[in-house]
Amino acid sequence: MKLGDLLKLPVFDGTAIAAGELGLNREVHTVNMMDAPDIIPYLRKNELLVTTAFHFKDDLPALLELIREMSRQNCAALGIKSKRFLGSMPDSAVRLADELNLPLLELPVDPSLGDIVNKALNHILDARTTELHNAMQTHRQFTQQIMSGQGIPKLLDQLSSLLRLPVLLLGPYLQPIAGRFSRSSTAARLETLLSGGSRFHAVPSVFSAFSLLGGERETLTLFPVYTHRQLHYLCIEGLIPPSERSHILTVEQATNVIAFELMKENALKQNRRRIQNEFFANFIGGTFSGSEEIASRGREFGLSGDQRYICTVGKIDGSDKTTSFMQYKAEQDRIAEHLEAESAQYPNPVHLFTHDRTYVLLMPLTEDWKTAEPAFLALLERLQHKIAVHYGSELSFGLSSYAQPLVHLPVSYKEANEALYFGGMAGKTRFIELYQPKEVPEILRMIPYDHLRKFYADTMQGFTDETLKDHHMLLQTLSVYLETHCQLAETAKRLYIHRNTVIYRLEKCEEIIGRSLKDPEETLRLRMAFRIKALLPEG
C-alpha cells in the first residue's frame, strides 16, 4: 500500500508532512513503533516507523543517523510526535529528510502510537487479504478456462480485459507464440536486440519493464513463465509498476496456470514428435510394404501420397563431438522446436522430422522449383541465422536435386544427405549445398584405384601387349565406335577411313578380346574400361 493512501486513514488525521513529500508514493508493508534507542538493527524495508523521539530529545545527531539509515534501507517513512519531547521538528532533520526524499511525518498528540500501529496494520492486512482473495478468484477462473479446453489464447484475452492492456505470450527468444503485438515492428525490434547480444535473465518472482527506443517508443513489461524445460515470458504492452500489487498478483496467477498448460502441451508435443520421427525412420529404412501403406501412414502426419516434396537435411556443424547424449538430445529438441516455429511463418507447410543427428525438412512443391527456390533458400538462411544467434551453433543444409513423390522420398533423403556430406568434406561451414547428379567420372572416382585397375585389366587383357601390330590404331577405332553408339558410318567419318576398314579393325578387336561387340553388356563393359583408363595414373 502506498504511504499517501495509508495517511488517508482517520487515525492519521492532523498529521503534517514535515519533509520528503516526494516520497509519498513509497510502499508501506508494515508499521513499527520505536520504544528503544537501538532500533537501527531492526529496521526493515518498506516499514513505517513511529516514535515520540524521547531518546533523541538530547541527541540530535542520533536522530539524523536514524534518518540516514532508514533511507539506506528503503524504509517507507518516519513519524514523530514532536510536540511530546522535541517541541518542534528540528530544522536539520527536515533538511536531511528532504535531501533523501524520506517522508518525515509530524504526528498529532492524539491518538496514541499503539492505536496508530494497530489501525494501520489492520488496514494493511485487510488490503492484503482482499488482494489474496481476488488472486484466488482469478486463479480459479483462469484454471477453469484452461480445463474447459479454451486454451492459452482465451486466457490471454481475459487477462488483457482485466489489465486493460494488450497481453501476449513470448517464447524463450521473445518470439510471439500466442497473441500478436499491436505494432508489427515490435517483434523485429526485439529480434534486433537479441541479435545485438542483449539477453534477458529472469529472476524468480521478479519481472522486467523496459522501453524500446527509436521511432515510436514502446514500453513492455515481461513476467517470466517457468516450465521444467524452457523459460517463456508473459508480455504486457505497457507499464505495470511494482506498486500495482493487484495487477501483479493477477498476472502471477496467469503465469502459474500458463506454465502448467505449457508443460502439458509440451508432453503431448514430445509424444507426437517421437511417433512421427519413428514413422520417418521406418519410412526411409524401407519398413513399409508398398505405396498404399506409405500413403496411409503419411496422411497421419499431413503428408500426401500425390504431392511432390523437396527434401532438406540439416545438421549442426561439429555435433558429433557432443560429450553427453542426454545433453545433446535436450538441445536437439529445443532446436527442433525453434526450427518448427520459424518454419511455420513460411507460406507453404514445412514438415520437420529429426533422424539420427539431423533435422529433416520436407517442403511440398506446389509450383515450379525455380520459382519456389529463392524463398525456400531464404527460409533456410533465416534458420541458420536464428540458430547461430540463439544457440551459438552453425547449422548446414543439404538439398535434394528435385522434388519426388512421397513414395520415392527415401531417394531424395539420400541425395540431400549426400549433398550435406560432400559440403562438409569440402571444409565448408554454415552452408546450403544442393545435390548435383554425379557424372560417370565422379562416380568412378569413388571406387578404390585397385578395383578400377583390376576391372580394366580383366576387360582389356587382350590389349595388354602394346607391341601388338596396330595396337594403338585398333584401340582408337574401338573407342570411337563405342562413343558413336556403334554406328559404323559415323565411326568411319570421324576417323576419315572407309567403312570396310572400320569393319576389318573391329573384327580384329573381337579376335583379341575373344568376345562379340554386338553384345550390349560387352559394349557397356568396354566403354566403362575406356573411362577408367582415363582416370588411372600412368605406369
Q: What is the pLDDT of residues 5-20, one digit of tens each?
A: 899 999 999 999 999 9
Query: Does 414 share its domain with 448?
Result: no
Residue 491 maps to which CATH number? Answer: 1.10.10.2840
Whether 155 and 255 map to the same domain: the answer is yes
Asked if residue 408 has pLDDT above 90, the reply is: no
- Looking up residue 105, the CATH number of its domain turns out to be 3.40.1390.20
Q: Which residue among 398, 415, 437 closes a domain?
A: 437
List the domain range (segments joined by +) for residue 203.
149-264
Of 1, 16, 249, which Cα lies nearest the Cα of 120? 1
In a domain, 471, yes or no: yes
395 bridge partner residues? 316
Kindly report which listed range (51-65, 109-123, 273-287, 449-463) carries the lowest average pLDDT score: 449-463
Residue 403 lies in a domain: yes
Report whether 31 contacts 116 (CB < 8 A). yes
H/E run at residue 18: strand 16-19
Task: Determine the pLDDT at residue 537.
Answer: 66
Whether 414 and 309 share a structural domain: yes
> Are residue 375 and residue 342 in the same domain, yes or no?
yes
Share of the chain above pLDDT 90, in %: 30
Is 142 inside any structural domain? Answer: no
**Together in a domain, 91 and 215:** no
My answer on whether 109 and 189 are in the same domain is no
Instruction: Report yes or no on 472 lying in a domain.
Output: yes
User: Is 326 part of a structural domain of the chain?
Assistant: yes
Q: In the listed set 437, 460, 489, which residue is the last one of a domain according to the structure?
A: 437
Question: Does residue 497 share a domain with residue 412?
Answer: no
Measure the CA–CA gap between 244 and 238, rounded to whole angstroms.
13
Higher pLDDT, 103 or 138: 103
CATH code for position 336: 3.30.70.270
Give me the mean pLDDT over the 51-67 stretch: 90
In a domain, 42, yes or no: yes
Least confident of 100-109, 430-439, 449-458, 473-482: 430-439
| Sign of the alpha-carbon dihedral angle for 342, 344, 348, 351 | positive
Task: Let me know whether 81 and 44 are in one domain.
Answer: yes
Q: What is the pLDDT of residues 158-215, one digit of tens each?
A: 899 988 999 999 888 788 888 888 887 888 788 777 766 566 655 555 678 777 776 6
Look at residues 212, 242, 264 and tell me which one is the last residue of a structural domain: 264
Q: Do 174 and 62 fall into the same domain? A: no
Pick the closest to residue 204 from 167, 153, 243, 256 (CA basis).
Answer: 256
The verdict on residue 348 lying in a domain is yes
Residue 343's H or E segment, with its range, is helix 325-343
155 and 115 in a common domain = no
**3-state SS class at 187:** helix
Query: What's the number of domains the chain is made of?
Result: 4
Which of 386-416 are b and which e, b meaning 16 or more Cβ less than 10 Å from the residue's Cβ? bbeebeeebbbbbbbbebbbbbebeebbebb
Split at pLDDT 50, 70, 90, the class of 438 is: low
pLDDT for 214 equals 65
Residues forming a β-bridge with 405: 308
As a whole number, the mean pLDDT across the chain is 86
* CATH, residue 203: 3.30.450.40
pLDDT exceeds cutoff 90 at 383: yes
Q: What is the DSSP string of 103-167?
A: -EEE--S-S-HHHHHHHHHHHHHHHHHHHHHHHHHHHHHHHHHHHTT-HHHHHHHHHHHHHTS-E
Q: Are 266 and 227 in contact (CB under 8 A)?
A: yes
Asked if residue 330 and residue 399 are part of one domain, the reply reads yes
| Residue 396 domain flag | yes
Do 310 and 354 share a domain, yes or no?
yes
Look at the block and give the residue holding cell 528503503: 74
Burial class for 433, CB neighbours closer than 10 Å (0-12, 13-18, 19+): buried
